[in-house]
Structure 1
Amino acid sequence: AHLPGLSRIGDGLRALPSLFVAVPVFWLGIVLIQVFSFQLGLVSVVNPGPVEGLILPVLTLAAPISAPLAQILIRSIDSVRRQPFVTVVRARGASEWWLLSRNIARNAVLPTLTMAGVLFGELIGGAVVTETVFGRAGIGRLAEQAVSNQDTPVLLAVVIVSAAAFVLINLIVDLLYPVLDPRLARSTGARS
């Protein structure tokens, strides 16, 4: 039997990704600086070290990207749990942990992996705002300065590097599919 308190906690955790999708990147960056730097004093934003200076910008970029991925993963896990093979594996005596790690997760991660490759392009757009909020020099800031200075060669270089990274990430995602789902490896082997 399920406890009512646990189902409320589960519902609350399932609502978190929707909240993070709606949060603007610049606002999240400012809130993270306010909380972790000024109030808690955990991360310095004034003359930070090389690693320390990356903590808050990475969190700022990761939260809006990880939110839709979490939504897709949660929905995929729920969908795979309802599949007949899960009932068969459970009837054979598999523990819930074994079932989740070996059977459900491997099947549920494929749509999430696809979306991760697509969302990589959003990281580049979010980098412009994040680098401005945190005063970091990077490809986003370089693109913004190239646009304001009408520096076409630099802007073209940024676009080419970003497009090449996007294609490479999606190629890696496509190559990971047969590793995660052996059925895909057998079907591609049968065609060739």
Structure 2
Amino acid sequence: MDRDSGPRVRVPEQRAPEKPATADALRFTVLGPVRAWRGSELLSSGSPQQRALLTALLLREGRTATAGELIDAFWGEDPPSQALATIRTYASRLRKILGQDTLVSESGGYAIRIDPGALDLTLAQDLAAEAEKARAAGDRCQARTLINKVLGLWDGEALASVPGPYADNQRTRLEEWRLQL
């Protein structure tokens, strides 16, 4: 967390994921800048490196990422000598923002535990699957409506400004998926 900013910043004009949230429900976006909300309040996700950790964990959909996998995600084949300590520092800072029940340590790594539908990518994938079913059933109008909803979830480049080889690969994968829709 930066000294100049607290853990929370109120920015009501920025778009949170579409599903209605309870007052304290966490929501996340990756189809644009990586952001986190608690209800309607935008949370500071910290440095670009903290957002890279958040990204790597969110895209694992609840599965644990080992320290080695996270080090590879950040630095590829050339990690610094203090890579593990750095990952632990970023995780500690993110845990203060998101809560200890959300960012959990387990099996030598970390995982993010979020509610179904709390990630814009998951919502987009669900809508795309519904669109495919509608198309297969011959309902092209419904399929088009659903695909437009999927595309409407994008807010610029996916994972915008998130550093690291993992983010670069995932950004490319998400852009290719978007172009196929």
Q: TM-score band (shorter)?
A: under 0.3
Higher-Rg member (1/2): 1
Normalized against structure 2, the TM-score is what? 0.27
More strand by share: 2
Normalized against structure 1, the TM-score is what? 0.26
More helix by share: 1
